[in-house]
Structure 1
Amino acid sequence: MQMQRDHFLLMYYFIIFFVTSISSLATAQQRHYNISRGSSLTPTKTSSWPSSSGLYAFGFYQRGNGGYAVGVFLAGIPEKTVVWTALRDNPPVSANATLLFTVAEGRLVLQTAQGQDTNITDIAQTASYASMLDTGNFVLYNYDGDILWQSFKYPTDTLLPTQTLSAGMELFSSVSETDQSTGFFRLKMQSDGNLVQYPKNTPDTAPYSYFSSFTDRTGDKVTLNLDVDGSLYLLNANSFKLKNLTSGVYKTRGTIFMMRIDSDGLFRLYSHRADNSNRWSVVWNSTDDRCDPKGLCGLNSFCFLNDLVTGCRCLPGFALVNQDNRNSDCERNFTSGSCKSKGKKYTLEELNNTSWEEVSYSVLSQTSKEDCSQSCLVDCNCEAALFKEGVCRKQRLPFRYGKRTRDSNIALIKVEGTSESSNDGILPTLEGKKEISTNIFFIISCLSSVNFPF
């Protein structure tokens, strides 16, 4: 009798456990926040679909003055942080826009008051449902539960833990903290295995790079990876760790990590502790020199550091094109005419300890600074010259990628003046000195064809 009772109790508890498990599973599935077709969002009412924990959300966020954009952002911390943006180069939409998960086609469509419909994702099949995962990945699924599309495969400027940057893919910086449209810098996981940073709209060649992992020739399927412990590293196709970019494993309890290429051109690893502060902390950055990013300052200007804060300064005789933008190009503050015009006098102003893009059209070797200056003054094509260790490189404008350095390079900038030392355009004889004329296009062509050991 006792045995039958025990058996009955065992079966009873098993049934209770089974029912409770099914109920918990159903609750968990509900908390997974699967998004069904026909669901919609608006900027001012139901504006986002959260992940199960509420840490991440997908939907509208405010961009600019009164405008909105669609993306993934950290919603569970006081400092809302955008980590992925859809249609990032489209203008912000107004408050009467709608994001619709269509019933018939299973597409995510952004609808505006002007009647314009724009697809958020590009998928060939019909999506059955969507989910905002707790990893920060927004996913579309088909009827069988297979992934059709995920935001992790199309990163903008940020990597989250468990996310990778595959070979051939790039991250592009945003214009600013508040404007997530495409900025001026990129981080590329090259197909040769090298992770390299360049300015936007430049060739993938050494003269334009300003950061490299020096892992070229290591395979065509190398990936950049970020783990939940904050480790940032490169893996090859065989899952062999080629290089650790960060120094080690960091505390993970209550800590969120993200890697982002910032608007200043550097890419950094950030951490955020929920029990510590409301701000992100920089754990690691790609360089300690904040003037390294090429193009941080505009044409004919150079970058300098003042108490770890970057600034841009125009060449002597130049002024900002846009006085409200310190990073804008600089132009001459005098009218340039023919250097042989009657009454025109020019002098050269020295700018010490700066480096620039090498695009010289003529090179004087075994010369002095004085002879370099004189050669530029009487050469109508020469608008500036770079002198270093007996070599004079004559250049035309514009000057690019300028930065303050500690080397001995001297930039000699032609400016309008009344110096009596200016000649009438007669090139002096430079005894014992050799002039080598080079074509800028030829130089760049040659450099582009060389496999540089990053």
Structure 2
Amino acid sequence: MATIWPLLLLFSVISTAEAQQPEQSFFRPGTLLTPRGTNSSWLSRSGLYAFGFYKLQGNGYAVGIFISGIPQKTLVWTANRDNPPLPDDVKLNFTSDGRLVLQTAQGMETGIAGNTEDQPTPFYQVRNSQPISPNQSTGIFRLIMQQDGWLAMYPVGTPFTLEYGYWGAGVSGEGTDVSLNFDADGRLYLLNGTGMSIVNITTGDPTKGVIYRLRIDPDGILRHYSHNMDQNGFWNVTWSGPKDECDPKGLCGINAFCDQDAGCECLPGFKRVNQDDWASGCERNFDSKSCKSNDAVTGYNMEAELHTVWQNDSYSILNSSTQDACGEACLGDCNCEVAQYKDGECRKQRLPLRFGRRQA
């Protein structure tokens, strides 16, 4: 795949089929917001959105934009998303020079917007499954619009090449002018440079009182949601991609693999680093021993994990008649920690392993 273009949709894309238009509210310099009480947020003109403090699950608060017109409060954007939770004595001040500044009781100040280097949260890097969660930090997957006209998804921190991409939509040969569009009726589609629709990702449904949103969930799946404002229900998934839940690369972290039947699993001899977050991967549950050239196999043995595939990062490739012979070749090499065997080929690798998944 070719070089990337920036994604056109930088914020959480939520559209409404019909919005109320109450009188516009204005907030003048000198006004304050506090986490507790009735003065914790400002409503948008439609009354559907709010900006201000919201309580995290657990301790603390954050500042962001959320949907306030439905019972299930749903986050749209978070300011300073990688910072720790805010205490309940913090204030958000709209200063006379047009800045939004967080002020703690100890006098510390943090900028939110205006004359600061704080940038809006990229909508396409969402890590948390809960609408309001204690962890809104930058996620591990991204959606980009590429220079070759394809919309594609990658793990964060990988090159934008076919080897690392795990989902895409587009038409070959369209070039650099393709754009991703999200209409008020929920339709998600690609337009080429002449304004022609070339890919319909979702169909439109111009239903009164329905709102839509698009996000990458923690499992790396891009999901299109709808919510009926006339019903006290939940967000319904109307489309998702990719369909295979093990396609997102890096979902289970290093030294772990995805199994459609069992979810994420660690390699034999490994345990999860963080029980609450598979993305943190797995680590050894045994003490490693020194490896001497004249006694390489002492204290170690090879365990097979069948029908799994991983990122190919081998430093040596051998011809091997059997799986056991491949394992012995790894045991005899102090640099070898993992051997991948398939069709007579033995690949020696070092840890960590990445992008593992079980194949049928």
* TM superposition score category, shorter chain reference: 0.7 to 0.9
Deviation at 1:324, TM superposition (A): 5.7
Q: Tell me which of 308, 312, 318 is aligned to 1:354.
A: 308
Instruction: Return the alpha-carbon distance in structure 2 between the equivalents of residues 67 and 226 of structure 1.
Output: 34
Which residue of the partner structure matches residue 323 of structure 2? Answer: 369
Q: Check 1:107–1:122 CA distance in 2 against 1; reply closer, same or farther (3 A cut).
A: closer
Which residue of the partner structure matches residue 265 of structure 1? Answer: 220
Q: Tell me which of 75, 98, 105 is aligned to 1:106.
A: 98
Which residue of the partner structure matches residue 52 of structure 2? Answer: 59
Give the counterpart letter for 2:47 in structure 1. Answer: G
Q: Deviation string for 1:128-163 (max 9, x for gaps)?
A: xxxxxxxxxxxxxxxxxxxxxxx9x94533xxxxxx
Instruction: Return the alpha-carbon distance in structure 2 between the equivalents of residues 112 and 193 of structure 1.
Output: 46
Deviation at 1:225, TM superposition (A): 1.7
Which residue of the partner structure matches residue 353 of structure 2? Answer: 399
Of 73-82 and 263-272, deviating more is 263-272
Instruction: Return the alpha-carbon distance in structure 1 between the equivalents of residues 230 and 295 of structure 2.
Output: 71
Percent identity over the alignment is: 46
Gaps of 5+ in 1: 1-27, 125-150, 158-170, 407-454
Give the counterpart letter for 1:296 in structure 2. Answer: L
Deviation at 1:379, TM superposition (A): 2.5
Deviation at 1:347, TM superposition (A): 3.2
Please say if 1:71 is aligned against 2:64.
Answer: yes
Q: Deviation string for 1:86-135 (max 9, x for gaps)?
A: 111122212222222222x12222222222222222459xxxxxxxxxxx
Give the counterpart letter for 1:315 in structure 2. Answer: L
Q: Check 1:192–1:111 CA distance in 2 against 1; reply closer, same or farther (3 A cut).
A: farther
Which residue of the partner structure matches residue 244 of structure 1? Answer: 200
Q: Check 1:359–1:102 CA distance in 2 against 1; reply closer, same or farther (3 A cut).
A: same
The structure with the largest helix share of the pair is: 1
Instruction: Return the alpha-carbon distance in structure 2 between the equivalents of residues 61 and 375 of structure 1.
Output: 57
Q: Check 1:350–1:227 CA distance in 2 against 1; reply closer, same or farther (3 A cut).
A: same
Deviation at 1:220, TM superposition (A): 2.8
SS in 1 for 2:126: strand
Give the counterpart letter for 1:58 in structure 2. Answer: F
Q: Tell me which of 282, 286, 289 is aligned to 1:329.
A: 282
Give the counterpart letter for 2:127 in structure 1. Answer: S
Instruction: Return the alpha-carbon distance in structure 2 between the equivalents of residues 121 and 219 of structure 1.
Output: 35
Which residue of the partner structure matches residue 92 of structure 1? Answer: 85
Which residue of the partner structure matches residue 141 of structure 2? Answer: 185
SS in 1 for 2:139: strand
Which residue of the partner structure matches residue 188 of structure 2? Answer: 232
Q: Deviation string for 1:379-415 (max 9, x for gaps)?
A: 3322222222232222111111111112xxxxxxxxx
SS in 2 for 1:225: strand
* Structure 1 contact 319–333 (Cα < 8 Å) conserved: no
Give the counterpart letter for 1:42 in structure 2. Answer: T
Q: Tell me which of 272, 286, 291 is aligned to 1:338.
A: 291
Please say if 1:303 is aligned against 2:255.
Answer: no
Instruction: Return the alpha-carbon distance in structure 1 between the equivalents of residues 34 and 111 of structure 2.
Output: 16
Give the counterpart letter for 1:260 in structure 2. Answer: R
Q: Deviation string for 1:1-53 (max 9, x for gaps)?
A: xxxxxxxxxxxxxxxxxxxxxxxxxxx99712233333321111311111233
Which residue of the partner structure matches residue 210 of structure 1? Answer: 166
SS in 1 for 2:302: strand
Deviation at 1:272, TM superposition (A): 0.7
* Structure 2 contact 170–190 (Cα < 8 Å) conserved: no
Give the counterpart letter for 2:286 in structure 1. Answer: N
* Structure 1 contact 367–392 (Cα < 8 Å) conserved: no
SS in 2 for 1:173: coil
Deviation at 1:218, TM superposition (A): 2.9
* Structure 1 contact 303–311 (Cα < 8 Å) conserved: yes
Which residue of the partner structure matches residue 108 of structure 2? Answer: 116
Deviation at 1:363, TM superposition (A): 1.6
Q: Check 1:324–1:120 CA distance in 2 against 1; reply closer, same or farther (3 A cut).
A: closer
| TM-score normalised according to structure 1 size | 0.67
Instruction: Return the alpha-carbon distance in structure 2 between the equivalents of residues 62 and 326 of structure 1.
Output: 25
Give the counterpart letter for 1:305 in structure 2. Answer: Q
Q: Deviation string for 1:224-281 (max 9, x for gaps)?
A: 22111111112234323232222x2235222110001112211100111123442111
Q: Check 1:261–1:324 CA distance in 2 against 1; reply closer, same or farther (3 A cut).
A: closer
Q: Check 1:208–1:332 CA distance in 2 against 1; reply closer, same or farther (3 A cut).
A: farther
Give the counterpart letter for 1:313 in structure 2. Answer: E
Pairing of 1:16-165 with structure 2 (within 5 A) = 31-45=23-37, 46-103=39-96, 105-123=97-115, 154=120, 156-157=122-123
Instruction: Return the alpha-carbon distance in structure 1 between the equivalents of residues 27 and 301 of structure 2.
Output: 69
Deviation at 1:289, TM superposition (A): 1.5
* Structure 1 contact 59–71 (Cα < 8 Å) conserved: yes
Gaps of 5+ in 2: 1-19
Deviation at 1:302, TM superposition (A): 1.0
